[in-house]
């Protein structure tokens, strides 16, 4: 196993360069055309079978996809920045998921490894002390920034694919690499899972840079406490009228939206576990002297398990409908994201802990940490487990310049070879079980 670690430490420069290229060209949810084209090209070069578009995404299950115009301009941008136009064409409509598959000579387990690719809608810091500014790899895409570390995830995924391909004689069964779009807003995993590509996986692994693993050279083996979540938009439509001469002829969508926002925060908490609700956006009205005929709110619910989240969402929809009825306006709702809760596979987690500890490559190996947030990897994990497989989620330790989604977010690139090293080590172990 020592040679795996020697090889990954020797790749630091290559990993840093890849991560910085991705950091300079961030692409937010469903617009990862350049990133996915790079992934597909590299997987093919390494000898993987590459699947894209409808083969890996169920269009009906894609949530919160941007408009055709936005998608087109992002496709054009990707091509202008070097993406292969034929690959970009395969991703029309925002189907930016990519799967790489390699079958090995020896029969054995099917291993699934998942990496998310999207950036955030954040304007990156211009502070000269911010390392991407100081070292010249700040985002070149206005309003987009890799502020969560998914540039690191793609980098780790491709390097892991390279080392596994080099070791194909030591591997058994089959490995599947899932490169997922639109993790932010928990929108992308559902469509990939619904396509059925994860159904045959025996052992599934994913992970995240940073978060609760905030020390360099740390590994968290099992990350639990994923909250189930739903994201909902509600649009209220009333009737406008003159606010001075004929207010009685209007139907007030602004008040309905405001009423809904307040009522939603009064939904009863749930006795069986944690529940959350947040109305994060409200927009309404058109002018000071016009009785407002339009209103919208954007909200999310969360729950310690899927049942609790379902309760929160059901109550939320009831409150929204009732608020609309109160002001006699129409309302439509649209689910724009969501993820179930999920359990970890403990036996697999214990093996990860043992292997990571024995490797001697980490200063700190933590068996378990609770996330207390949502991550749509839970769709993958839940599906694998329902089909009798095992699934786990790790965290790759790094000090952070600022928190996730902050404009000054940055991580220590030394965490990249560590993540690759442990993934390759675990891949060899679980494929041969
Ligand atoms: Zn994030
Ligand atoms: Zn993230």
Give 223-275 as a DSSP string: EE-PPEEEEEEEEEE-B--BTTT-GGG-B-HHHHHHHHHHHHTTSPP-TTS-E
Ligand 2 center to 406 CA (angstroms): 12
State in Å: Cα 81 to ligand 2 middle: 24
How many angstroms does the Cα of residue 207 sit away from the middle of ligand 2? Answer: 9
Domain finish residue from 310, 339, 368: 339
Strand (E) or helix (H) holding 333: strand 330-339
**Beta strands in 37-186, from DSSP E residues, in sequence order:** 49-52, 98-103, 106-116, 172-180
My answer on whether 221 and 247 are in the same domain is no
Which of 339, 355, 378 is a domain's end point? 339
Cα–Cα nearest to 384, from 109, 93, 108: 109
Dist. CA 366–CA 364, nearest whole Å: 6
What's the gap in Å between 147 CA and the centre of ligand 2?
A: 8
Provide the domain count of the chain: 2
Q: Are 401 and 389 in contact (CB under 8 A)?
A: no
pTM of this structure: 0.92
Instruction: Out of 295, 323, 339, pick the residue that ends a domain.
Output: 339
Owning domain of residue 270:
228-339
Lateral strand order in the sheet of 203-209 = 49-52, 98-103, 172-180, 106-116, 203-209, 390-396, 218-224, 364-370
Report how far ligand 2's centroid is from the alpha carbon of 148 (Å). Answer: 5
Give the span between the Cα atoms of 326 and 33, in whole angstroms. 45
Specify whether 378 is located in the same domain as 296. Answer: no
Residues 174 and 299 occupy one common structural domain: no
Q: Do residues 149 and 64 both lie within one domain?
A: yes
Tokens 């894209």 found at: 52
Partners of residue 94 on adjacent β-strands: none
| In a shared domain, residues 204 and 90 | yes
Q: How far is the CA of 118 from the centre of ligand 1 (A)?
A: 9
Query: Do 41 and 59 belong together in one domain?
Result: yes
Residue 179 CA to ligand 1 center (angstroms) comes to 16
Q: How far away, in angstroms, is 242 Cα from ligand 1 center?
A: 44
Question: Per-residue confidence of the chain (433 residues) as pLDDT tens digits?
Answer: 679 999 999 999 999 999 999 999 999 999 999 999 999 999 999 999 999 999 999 999 999 999 999 999 999 999 999 999 999 999 999 999 999 999 999 999 999 999 999 999 999 999 999 999 999 999 999 999 999 999 999 999 999 999 999 999 999 999 999 999 999 989 999 999 999 999 999 999 999 999 999 999 999 999 998 899 999 999 999 999 999 999 999 999 999 999 999 999 999 999 999 999 999 999 999 999 999 999 999 999 999 999 999 999 999 999 999 999 999 999 999 999 989 988 899 999 999 999 999 999 999 999 999 987 889 999 999 999 999 999 999 999 999 999 999 999 999 999 999 999 999 999 999 999 8
Is 300 in the same domain as 377?
A: no
């Amino acid at each position: 196993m020592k040679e795996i670690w020697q090889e990954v430490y020797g790749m630091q420069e290559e990993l840093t360069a890849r991560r910085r290229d991705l950091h300079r060209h961030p692409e937010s949810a469903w617009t990862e055309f350049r990133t996915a084209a790079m992934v597909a090209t590299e997987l093919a070069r390494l000898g993987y079978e590459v699947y894209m578009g409808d083969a890996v995404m169920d269009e009906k299950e894609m949530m919160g996809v941007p408009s055709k115009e936005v998608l087109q301009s992002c496709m054009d941008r990707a091509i202008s920045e070097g993406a292969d136009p034929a690959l970009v064409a395969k991703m029309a409509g925002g189907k930016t998921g990519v799967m790489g598959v390699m079958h090995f000579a020896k029969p054995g387990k099917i291993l699934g490894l998942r990496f998310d690719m999207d950036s955030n809608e954040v304007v990156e810091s211009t502070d000269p002390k911010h390392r991407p500014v100081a070292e010249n790899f700040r985002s070149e895409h206005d309003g987009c920034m890799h502020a969560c570390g998914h540039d690191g995830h793609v980098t780790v995924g491709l390097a892991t694919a390279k080392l596994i391909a080099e070791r194909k004689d030591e591997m058994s069964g089959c490995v599947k690499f899932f490169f997922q779009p639109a993790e932010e807003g928990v929108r992308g995993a559902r469509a990939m899972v619904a396509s059925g590509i994860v159904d045959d996986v025996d052992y599934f692994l994913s992970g995240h840079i940073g978060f609760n693993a905030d020390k360099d050279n740390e590994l968290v083996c099992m990350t639990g406490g994923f909250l189930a979540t739903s994201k909902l938009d509600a649009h209220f439509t009333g009737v406008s009228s003159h606010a001075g001469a004929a207010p009685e002829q209007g139907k007030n969508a602004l008040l309905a939206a405001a009423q809904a926002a307040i009522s939603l925060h009064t939904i009863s908490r749930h006795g069986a576990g944690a529940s959350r609700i947040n109305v994060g956006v409200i927009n309404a009205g058109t002018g000071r002297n016009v009785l407002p005929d339009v209103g919208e709110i954007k909200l999310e619910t969360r729950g310690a398990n899927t049942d609790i989240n379902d309760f929160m969402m059901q109550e939320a929809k009831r409150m929204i409908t009732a608020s609309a009825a109160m002001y006699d306006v129409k309302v439509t709702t649209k689910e724009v994201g969501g993820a179930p809760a999920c359990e970890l596979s403990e036996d697999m987690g214990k093996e990860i802990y043992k292997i990571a500890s024995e490797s001697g490559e980490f200063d700190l190996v933590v068996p378990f940490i609770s996330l207390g947030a949502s991550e749509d990897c839970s769709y993958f994990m839940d599906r694998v487990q329902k089909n009798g497989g095992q699934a786990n989620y790790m965290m790759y330790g790094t000090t952070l310049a600022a928190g996730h989604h902050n404009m000054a977010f940055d991580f220590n690139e030394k965490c990249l070879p560590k993540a690759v090293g442990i993934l390759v080590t675990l891949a060899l172990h679980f494929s041969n079980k």
